[in-house]
Amino acid sequence: MKNILQVNGLNVWDSRSGEAIVKDVSFSLKEHSCLALVGESGSGKSMTCKAIMGLNRPWISCSGRVEFDGQELLTLPQQKLRSLCGNRLCMILQDGMSAFDPSCVIGQHFRETLKEHFGWTAQQADERMVESMLTVMLKNPAGLLKKYPHQLSGGMLQRAMIALALVLEPDIIIADEPTTALDTITQFEVMEQFTALQKRTSSAMIFVSHDLGVVNRLADSVVVMKNGSVVEFGPLPDIFEHPQQEYTRYLVSTRQALGTRFRQVLGGNEPC
């Protein structure tokens, strides 16, 4: 399988203070495969994802290479990048609220996106979104389409984004695990939906997760990050069974123990 995305020597820094955030990060993503970004809080996982999509705040600068299907993303003009991101790259943000325009109902957001992407009418867009929202366990989807983002919970907004990704079926889905915005049970349910999303689409996926049980089930390869740098990158079995670095060994052992506990608390008995 060929690489659909190649990240080489990615650096991200805060241009106001000069503080380095992501340092010389390199990894690749194969077509139709699933790559997990793991590492402690603040290690630069979200900033790496946002840099790939050109979604970082204006004061955040990047250097290096991010090659998607032969195109260099970091130097692509904003307009071209926006259109690529709407069509072939799709990011499910950690904070669901920031993905939607607060001044319009979520159905309007979906209609505009699907009109631009497929040329669908409002009715066609609504029909497909209702169908897709049901598959991610959103109740009364027709009613939800008429709601403003602030009327939905963080978990519901995440699911709504997953439902849209299911319809768009982009080449790459980048999914940042919900952490702070959601309670533990909702986090677990949303991660289940990410799992389903990967199975149902032929998209390649990069996902950020703190739960190595989920990583074990979903990922083909893993990038381990610490303090903005890549500690280890490789196929899942290598990272889980033969970690080369001390930090990876530590992460795998502690997180697996936590994952097991997490499932026990939730009443599940699936092994990590």
Could you list the residues that contact ligand ATP (CB under 6 A)? Answer: 14, 21, 39, 41-47, 57, 60, 179
- Nearest residue (CB) to ligand ATP, 90 versus 225: 225
State the minimum distance, in angstroms, from the CB of residue 201 to ligand ATP: 24
DSSP string, 64-108: EEEEETTEESTTS-HHHHHHHHHHTEEEE-SSGGGGS-TTS-HHH
Q: Strand 60-68 to strand 221-226: parallel, antiparallel, or no bridges (unpaired)?
A: unpaired
- Nearest residue (CB) to ligand ATP, 37 versus 114: 37
State the minimum distance, in angstroms, from the CB of residue 54 to ligand ATP: 14
- With tokens 């889905």, the residue in question is 173
What's the token pair of residue 168?
Answer: 């768009």
- Nearest residue (CB) to ligand ATP, 45 versus 159: 45
- Nearest residue (CB) to ligand ATP, 60 versus 74: 60
- Nearest residue (CB) to ligand ATP, 60 versus 122: 60
Amino acid at 228: G
What's the token pair of residue 196?
Answer: 């389903």
- Nearest residue (CB) to ligand ATP, 141 versus 155: 155
Residues 6+ apart with CB under 8 A from 138: 144, 156, 159, 160, 163
- Nearest residue (CB) to ligand ATP, 109 versus 210: 210
Let me know how many helices (H) and strands (E) the chain has, helices first: 10, 10
State the minimum distance, in angstroms, from the CB of residue 40 to ligand ATP: 7
What's the token pair of residue 7?
Answer: 């990240």
- Strand boundaries in the chain, DSSP class E: 3-14, 20-30, 34-39, 60-68, 71-72, 89-92, 172-176, 204-208, 221-226, 229-235
State the minimum distance, in angstroms, from the CB of residue 62 to ligand ATP: 13
Are the C-beta atoms of 133 and 152 separated by less than 8 Å? no
State the minimum distance, in angstroms, from the CB of residue 125 to ligand ATP: 32
State the minimum distance, in angstroms, from the CB of residue 50 to ligand ATP: 8
Residue 269 and residue 262: Cα distance in Å, rounded?
10
Distances (CA, A) of 147 to 93, 94, 125, 138, 139: 19, 20, 16, 13, 13
State the minimum distance, in angstroms, from the CB of residue 122 to ligand ATP: 35
